[in-house]
Chains A and B, each alone.
Chain A
Amino acid sequence: MTDATTALATGDLAATQTSYMAQVRRKRMYSGITLLIFVLLMVSGFNIADARNAGGFWDGLHNIFDFPYAVVSEAWAKRDQLPAHMLHYVPALVETINIAAVSTLIGALLGLVLSLLSTRGMALWPALMPAFRRIMDIMRAVPEIVIALVLIYMMGGGPVPAVVAIAFHTGGALGKLFSEVNENASLQPIEGLHSVGATWFQRMWLGVIPQVAPNYLSYALLRFEINIRASAILGFVGAGGIGYELKNSMSWGMGKFDEAAAIFLLLFATIMAVDQLSSHYRNRLTQGART
């Protein structure tokens, strides 16, 4: 840019044009090289993944609808039993939703405390702020399945390992989002409360929470949406709920696909419903905060 401006100042139009064209060419070359590297990475990555997969991509491509077709045709043949199957799996679905709800609640409480402890001006021990930030980073980095598998080994299958695993990760993830919200909150109410001798808990409860509650709720709802999916997946590795039932009905294979179809439908409907509900309430919360 500096070349162009100096050239313009001397009034030499031709020099301006050449320097501008040179810059454009250089920029194009850089984007071209970046694009080339990206394409190479994608193609070679695909080839590596294809080579290491049990079945190849091109062989599998025309089989892709075989399994959905088998499930749908079997479910259609036994369509009169479908409502009964769906009813049968409702308790498992309730367990999955409960796992997501409890872990979101616990995770949100954890994240609330951690975020307050790691925000400037609100921290109870300002010297420990970086430590709490690192704790949140690590909590966020732990995939749910790691904790879930270890706990399943220790306490057997069931909802509790899933709750602990999801809540741990949620605590870190929400903690980070919450602390971003906290940074935009006004510190004046806290100072005011401090001057009248309020304790740390009172300052947070009366000075911070009313400011940030709508944004917190909105993030927690988004997390609930994510956690429903997570709790279904963890069920598949043994942590109870509808994922576990899905794994069982899948392992029975042909002849039980109507039950798998019922579970697919329930799971799909639940995820869609929670998505819609949460986005509706999130819109209301953020719009309410704006006015």
Chain B
Amino acid sequence: MTMLLTGTDLKQQAEGLLARKRLAAIAVPTVILAYFIYIFFAFDIAGLSQRLRLDNAATLIADSYSYKTEVTRDHRTGATTVAIEGERKGQYPADAPPDWVQVQGNRTVIDMGQGQTITLLPDNAVTYVIPGYGVIQAQLSNGRITSNLTEPIPDWINASGTRIAITTDTGRLTITRSKTEVFRYFWGWEMFWFALDSPYANHGVVSLLTGPQLDPARSNIAGMWNDFWMNPVWRHADTAWAISETILMAFLGTFGAALIALPLAFIAARNFTPNRVARFGIRRLFDFVRGVDALIWTIVLSRAFGPGPLTGALAILVTDSGTFGKIFSEALENVDDKQIEGIASTGAKPVQRYRFGVIPQITPILLSQILYFLESNTRSATIIGAITGGGIGLLLTQAMQTQKDWEEVTFYIILVILMVIAMDWLSGMLRRRLIQGSGG
């Protein structure tokens, strides 16, 4: 109808608008795509495939859910040792090897699972029985390794005159001039509950709880708790300390910042401070400490206080007092004046006016902000801990730098995620209860 009245003008206008909208709808994805293409070259994504260390990734993934036990025979001394991950802490006593390693006189028979057997024979000789392939025999004599392997050699065997490596699903046999090594892989995290020297290692839960007392000096439950908590490999007590240190950093930093920011926020709020110079000064101070950022504060403060949780807590405190100051002063500027006037009309002094007229109004906002920051600062404290050296962040970086105990890294990552989720839950619960409670 309208088209008849205003002629083709309106139609053209509508078409122009639609065309512009359509252009915008195409332009935004195009700009984003163009930016991604620029990033593709700027970050050298194409070269990534060369830099990607797949072997590192494979070690990491395999190590996070499994571990290996090494049986090593030294060719010079002829001594055989069995150790978890080849570590001194995980070494089995010579007279009590695990039940899949059997010493029969001068022979050592290793059951590799799936019917495979490796036998370490005298004179540095080895036989490997692999069902479906056959029996591999190898021996080191006069500095050369000879074997019964014939062409074609399958690709899971790597053989030369100085080194033979056989890799199967369950493990690996390596013979070099200095030693013979057998790896057998197992599921799980080694010695997570008890170290090998604990009397409770290699027992089931049921037999420990209902079975006879293993250590005459202490009850099974007390002894188990002590051996688990003091586990020298996993150091559960230290890990728990580190977690609480990280939470402590977040707690001290967040609440300390709130305590410092609250009085300053009154100075920065327009309706409480008529003095423009003071207001401007405090606001710029807030902007400054916020803008300098936690990273720089961490560096500056760790020069003065050294590494540790206090430095981390102070870094969070300084940065967040700027953020809180800004949020609090904005909340104060939005305060309803009627309540303050009402309190003032009863003859209240300024302190009483603040206490009964202002604080009840802003408490829910402040508390909810503080609790929200407590949760997010738990994450920051992990990162700051990695830089300044405290808490779970430090343990995580240390475990990564040694580049071998990836099961510990996995454990720490899981703990960190659980910690943050727990803090998230706690802060959400407190937020709901405090804000509803303060209204009633």
Per the bound structure, the CA–CA distance linking A250 and B245 in Å amounts to 26
Q: Is A271 interfacial (CB 8 A cutoff)?
A: yes
Q: When A and B form their complex, which 10 residue pairs have the shortest distance between CB atoms, in order from nearest?
A: A53-B308, A54-B306, A55-B306, A53-B310, A67-B303, A60-B305, A141-B420, A49-B310, A60-B304, A64-B304
Q: Residues of B contacting A159 with CB < 8 Å?
A: 43
Q: A160-B43, A236-B295 are known contacts. Are A66 and B304 too (CB-CB below 8 A)?
A: yes
Q: Residues of A contacting B306 with CB < 8 Å?
A: 53-55, 60
Stretch at the interface among A11-19, A38-46, A191-199: A38-46
Q: Residues of A contacting B53 with CB < 8 Å?
A: 153-156
Query: Interface on chain B toward A: helix, strand, loop, or mixed SS?
Result: helix
Q: Is B416 interfacial (CB 8 A cutoff)?
A: yes
Q: Is B45 interfacial (CB 8 A cutoff)?
A: yes
Interface size on B, residues (CB 8 A): 62
Interface string of A248-276 (1 = CB under 8 A from B): 00100000000000001001100110010
15 residue pairs from A and B, CB less than 8 Å apart: A53-B308, A55-B304, A57-B305, A63-B303, A138-B421, A142-B417, A145-B383, A146-B396, A150-B409, A154-B52, A236-B387, A237-B397, A246-B299, A250-B299, A267-B295
Interface string of A221-237 (1 = CB under 8 A from B): 00000000100110011
Which partner residue on chain B sits nearest A61 by CB separation? B304
Interface string of B302-326 (1 = CB under 8 A from A): 0111111111010000000000000
Which residues of B are interface residues toward A (Cβ below 8 A)?
Answer: 32, 35-36, 39, 42-45, 48, 51-53, 56-57, 60, 245, 248-249, 251-252, 255-256, 287, 290-296, 299-301, 303-311, 313, 379, 382-383, 386-387, 389-390, 393, 396-397, 400, 403, 409, 413, 416-417, 420-421, 424
Which residues of A are interface residues toward B (Cβ below 8 A)?
Answer: 38, 41-42, 45-46, 48-50, 52-57, 60-61, 63-64, 66-68, 95, 98, 101-102, 105, 137-138, 140-146, 149-150, 153-156, 158-160, 163, 229, 232-233, 236-237, 243, 246, 250, 264, 267-268, 271-272, 275
Given A141-B420, A145-B382, A237-B386: 4 more A-B contacts, CB < 8 Å: A45-B248, A105-B32, A145-B386, A268-B296
Q: Residues of A contacting B382 with CB < 8 Å?
A: 143, 145-146
Per the bound structure, the CA–CA distance linking A138 and B417 in Å amounts to 7
Once A and B bind, how many residue pairs between them come within 8 Å at the CB atom? 169
Per the bound structure, the CA–CA distance linking A48 and B53 in Å amounts to 42
Query: Interface on chain A toward B: helix, strand, loop, or mixed SS?
Result: helix
Q: A66-B304, A156-B51 are known contacts. Are A41 and B417 too (CB-CB below 8 A)?
A: no
Q: A141-B424, A271-B293, A272-B287 are known contacts. Are A52 and B245 too (CB-CB below 8 A)?
A: yes
Per the bound structure, the CA–CA distance linking A46 and B409 in Å amounts to 29
Q: Residues of B contacting A102 with CB < 8 Å?
A: 35-36, 39, 43
Per the bound structure, the CA–CA distance linking A54 and B403 in Å amounts to 26
